[in-house]
Every structure is written in structure tokens, then in C-alpha cells.
Structure 1
Amino acid sequence: MMKSVFLALALLVPSFAFAAGGNVHLDKANYDLTDKASLQNGAKLFMNYCFGCHSTQYQRYNRVAEDLAIPVKLMEENLIFTGVKSGELMENAIQEKDAAKWFGAPAPDLTLVARVRGADWIYTYLRSFYVDETRPFGVNNKVFPSVGMPHVLQELQGVPNAVYETEMIDGEEHHVYRGIESDGSGEMSDDEFDNAVLDLVNFLVYSAEPVQLERKRLGYWVLGFLFIFFIISYLLKREYWRDVH
């Protein structure tokens, strides 16, 4: 299992290491792993818009269904598109050679992307596509310049355009990037789209560490035990050394 995790990290790092996007500010992703509705919507968005190319092959459908309170039957009917059983790993059907041909490189597995890049990076990246007719898919990305991925969420957001303002700096005109603006043709408003992306990020954070909440819960118990053990140890130490002093 550990070898598989290290292999996943090794595959992801080359694909994302150069994608920091220079000095682009990363927006804060205020995700909430206790929000089951957000996680369920994030799973739906991922399976419908991302899973065609990106897998989360270190997860199982039935584990996701259990953790996110999704009935297994509902998962099988609506979120499994490859014809496998719910106990199988979440692998998509795209062939690596086809992905390399279409996008220039195989689409990376996203099980651990939230741990590799961070939630803020993913949140900003998915909201930073803009029209660029020089690119093969007609879009570029401020966080990941020269991206080889289409803007798969465009039907939700609408056509995104980069907004610049002209400012005088040291007596010269400079075009300063101010953000992304949709043309309003999407199915969602700007706020709805941001919330949808946040739900997707929430799901990817969960995917990267499904036991995160349990780990934190157990951590409080461990710290409590160590605190009580410290007090007992200190009292024993005083008792044993009382006659010596």
C-alpha cells in the first residue's frame, strides 16, 4: 500500500511541480470536511466533469459512498460510469496512450492532488481559466500557464475572459491583471460557480486523506492521555525522590 502511495506522488509531482503560476495570488479555499452535502456535490461534479480523464484509483466506490453517506445503490446508478461493481477501485476508462495523444501527456491520477498542491491551489486553478485562441483547446490558465487541459467546467461558469486594467507605472503604461470575468452564458452565477468549485475541492481534499477527521479526533484523545500520563508521572517522580531530597 505504501509503495502505491509513493508511486502516486511520484507520478503527480512532475505534472504539477512547474505549475505554481508565478506570482498569481491563491484564493483561500474554505472547505469543510464535515459538510456531507458539499462532499456529495463535489463527488457528483468530479464524476461528471473530471473522471472522464482523471481517476482516483486509490479509492473504492463503496468506501466513498459510506464516508459521504451516499446509498450504494444510488452510487451505482448515478456515479459509476465504467460498468464495474461498487467494491472496485475508481479507475476511469481512458487509455494513457490516448490521453498522451490528445493532451500531450497522460492525465494524472487525482487521489492525492490536494496533498501535493494544496486546496488553495486547486480552488484558484479551477477558477483561473480564460479564453486564449492560441492554445489547442482555446483556453489558458493564470495559475498553470500553457495548460494542456480544456476548461471542463465552462458550461457551468460560462466563457471566461481575463480582465486587465491599464496603470501608469514610472511614467509607462502597464496592463495589470485583475481577474477572470464570465460572459454570463453559464448555468451558474459567479457565486454559485465558486461554491461548486469549493465543493469539488472539498471532495479532492477528502480523497487525499479519507481518515483526516478521524485522525484529528483520535489526536485529541492521545493528547489528553499524554497530559494525564504526564501528571501521574510527575507525581510518581515526586514520591520516589521525596526521601532522596
Structure 2
Amino acid sequence: MKTRGLSLVKKLFATALFAPLLAVASGPELHLDKAPVSSDPAALQNGAKLFVNYCLNCHGASYLRYNRLKEIGLSDQMIKDNLMFTADKIGEPMRIAMQRDEAKAWFGAAPPDLTLIARSRASEFGSGADWLYTYLRSFYRDPGRPTGWNNTVFENVGMPHVLYELQGDQVAKFEEHDDGHGNMTKVVHIEPGKQGKMSKDEYDKATADLVSFLVWMGEPMAGTRKTIGTFVLAFLGVLFVLSYLLKKNYWKDVH
């Protein structure tokens, strides 16, 4: 009895250990396109313009102040004249006027703050930039949804396609595939519909700029941090060589 009891415990332990892995392996694979993230000031400035005009109506960036935008090559006056629509002073955070309880009543859930969205998605999907880039290009018309839109990356998303006028319509074609084990999976193929203000290449470029800004916004000091890291590694390399030469000279009589 004791042996059988230990065997049962081992089986239960193995099931608990590997069940999450099996669940992930059997789930639908999420394909993400590689995001062409750029640190070029022109790309970041265009991304900031898109963010302020299309995202800042519902999504705040309350952990970033407007004056930090000077780090991507903008002057105080340029920020005030072109980007500062939700504040009076340039040192204020990029908040929105909409209250969370009102947003929850209107949309079913309050739109999240986007300051750290690229970093939070990175913790879930490996690359937050790739997820955002694919998501913003994967909306399609769905009359069954309250907003009239759905998304292949985020199924039954509550957010409408705010960049619709730029991209235009996309239409979904559904297919069912057998995975070889008798399980039918739904596959969604997106096809272009009504043309927007931008061509496909132009929209992809605009989306890449927006994603680049979201990535920068999550860690504005990333460029400085990498530069400092490079200098530190170079200094340690030089220090290692000098230390080795000193050691060699100090011990030359012994060896």
C-alpha cells in the first residue's frame, strides 16, 4: 500500500508539473511580425505625434512628463504647439481627462496606461515591440463585436481600430483546420478591404514609428544606459590588461 501511495503521489506531482507546459504546447501558436524598432529622432517624433493624436484620447502615459520629449529632439515650444493637448505646463505628466470609472462604464474596462506597455507585453510574449507591431496591423471588421472591430492577435478586443482612417478596412476569412488529433482549430486570414489614407508600406512605417515611441517611452534612458554600459565594459577590458601586465611583472622573478 505504501509503494502504491508513493507511486500515486509521483504521478500527481508529474501531472501538476507538466500540465501547464502541455497546455501551452497544445494552444494556438501566436505568430508575431518582427518590429523594425528605431531610435532615430525623426521616427520617435513621428511616433509621438501619432501617439498624441490617436492614443492619448483614451490611453494615458502618466509616468512620462511632456518635457521628457526634449530627449527625442523637440524643443519646449514645439512640444507646446504640437503635442501638449492634455496639460497646461510642460512639466506635467501625459494624463487624460477621462476618469477610470467613466471609461469602465463606456468600454467595459478602463483603457490601460501605455507608459510601460512595451515592457509589460515583453514579459508575456518575449518581445513587446513585436506584439504591438503585429497587433496594430491585425484589426479586421467584425459586425458581431460592439465596436465593429476584432483582432487576430487579441481576440474579442474591446478597443476599436483607432488607426482605421490611416490603414483602411481589413476583412477576415475563416478556415477550420484539423490538428491531426481530431481537434478543429479556427484559422483567421486577413485580406485588404477599403484603402485608407496610407498605402500598406506607409502604414507599416507609421506603425513602426509608433511602436518605437512606445518602446522609448517605457525606458527613455535606455540609450544612455547602453552607452554607459559600453564604456564600463571597455574600462574593465583595459583594467584587465593592465592588471595582467602588472601581475606578470610582479611575479617574473618567482616564475
TM-score (norm 2): 0.80
Shift of 1:127: 0.7
- The aligned residue for residue 183 of structure 1 is 193
SS of the residue 1:224 aligns to:
helix
Larger-Rg structure: 2
Structure 1: which amino acid aligns with 2:64?
A: Q
Shift of 1:229: 0.6
Structure 2: which amino acid aligns with 1:119?
A: A
1: CA distance between counterparts of 2:109 and 2:95?
A: 17
2:95 pairs with one of 91, 109, 116: 91
Query: Residues 105-132 of structure 1: CA distance to partner in whole angstroms, max 9, x if unpaired?
Result: 1111111111121100000011111111
Shift of 1:51: 0.4
Shift of 1:212: 1.3
| Percent of aligned pairs with the same amino acid | 53
User: Is the contact between residue 55 and residue 110 of structure 1 (CA under 8 Å) also seen in structure 2?
Assistant: yes
- The aligned residue for residue 15 of structure 1 is none
Query: Could you say which structure has the greater relative contact order, defined with CA pairs below 8 angstroms and 6 or more residues apart?
Result: 1
1: CA distance between counterparts of 2:205 and 2:222?
A: 22
- The aligned residue for residue 54 of structure 1 is 59
- The aligned residue for residue 38 of structure 1 is 43
Shift of 1:164: 4.7
Using the TM superposition, name which of 72-81 and 124-133 deviates more. 72-81
2: CA distance between counterparts of 1:74 and 1:231?
A: 48
Using the TM superposition, name which of 208-217 and 233-242 deviates more. 233-242
Kindly indicate whether residue 246 of structure 2 is the aligned counterpart of residue 236 of structure 1: yes
- Mapping for residues 193-204 of structure 1, pairs under 5 Å: 193-204=203-214
- The aligned residue for residue 3 of structure 2 is none
Q: How many residues align?
A: 221
Shift of the 99–125 alpha-carbon distance from structure 1 to 2, 3 Å rule, reads same
SS of the residue 1:86 aligns to:
coil
SS of the residue 2:237 aligns to:
helix
Structure 2: state its 5+ residue gaps: 1-26, 122-127
Structure 1: state its 5+ residue gaps: 1-20
Shift of the 175–148 alpha-carbon distance from structure 1 to 2, 3 Å rule, reads closer
CA RMSD of aligned residues (A): 2.2
User: Is the contact between residue 157 and residue 182 of structure 1 (CA under 8 Å) also seen in structure 2?
Assistant: no
- Mapping for residues 83-162 of structure 1, pairs under 5 Å: 83-117=87-121, 118-162=128-172
Kindly indicate whether residue 80 of structure 2 is the aligned counterpart of residue 76 of structure 1: yes
1: CA distance between counterparts of 2:68 and 2:186?
A: 49
1: CA distance between counterparts of 2:176 and 2:145?
A: 25
User: Is the contact between residue 22 and residue 143 of structure 1 (CA under 8 Å) also seen in structure 2?
Assistant: no
Shift of 1:174: 8.5
Kindly indicate whether residue 71 of structure 2 is the aligned counterpart of residue 67 of structure 1: yes
Shift of 1:46: 0.4
- The aligned residue for residue 214 of structure 1 is 224
2: CA distance between counterparts of 1:244 and 1:166?
A: 77
2: CA distance between counterparts of 1:137 and 1:87?
A: 35
Q: Which runs of 4+ in 1 moved over 6 A?
A: 165-170, 172-175
Query: Residues 12-39 of structure 1: CA distance to partner in whole angstroms, max 9, x if unpaired?
Result: xxxxxxxxx9423100001111x11111
Shift of the 145–166 alpha-carbon distance from structure 1 to 2, 3 Å rule, reads closer
SS of the residue 2:104 aligns to:
helix
2: CA distance between counterparts of 1:124 and 1:63?
A: 27
1: CA distance between counterparts of 2:199 and 2:143?
A: 24
Shift of 1:74: 2.1
- The aligned residue for residue 23 of structure 1 is 29
